[in-house]
Amino acid sequence: MDLTRRWPILRELCSCAEQFPGLQIWVFGSMLRSQRPRDLDVLIIYADPQHVTALYAARLWEATLPLLHFIAMAPDEERDHRFIEVTGAIRLHPPPAEPTAAAPAAEGAS
């Protein structure tokens, strides 16, 4: 499911996040299970809290429907609570690395 195509505001959010090194954007909640969620739940993982403040100040998403609901955590907070694991969150930014195909074994190699 391409969430950024379904809700373009998520694509805009990820585009804004590119300005802030180390900022991660994850989504979770009803948007992963429902065609009509009441809100779009977004987890922001940050190394620098000022990046979260600056991202929020962009206010690109104030009038979106469904509404965006943000939770921001430092990496150690997320690890302590196992938030990503517990919620089944999906990373949007930076995009997850594409799996690479295993290289075929060389003939005659032992």
- In order of their start, the domains of the chain are 3-93 (3.30.460.10)
36 pLDDT exceeds 70? yes
> In this structure, which long-range contacts are made by residues 74-80, counting pairs with CB atoms below 8 Å and at least 24 apart in sequence?
74/45, 74/46, 74/47, 74/49, 75/45, 75/47, 78/43, 78/45
State pLDDT tens for residues 50-98.
999 998 888 767 777 888 899 999 999 999 999 999 999 999 999 877 6
Q: What integer pLDDT is reported at residue 83 of this predicted model? A: 98
CA 23: distance to chain centroid?
A: 9
Mean of the pLDDT values across residues 4-18? 92
Mean of the pLDDT values across residues 16-27? 94
Q: In this structure, what are the phi and psi dihedrals at residue 50, rounded to the nearest 5 degrees?
A: -65, -25
pLDDT grade for 109, boundaries at 50, 70 and 90: very low
104 pLDDT exceeds 70? no
Pairing of strands 39-45, 67-73: parallel
Q: What integer pLDDT is reported at residue 49 of this predicted model? A: 95
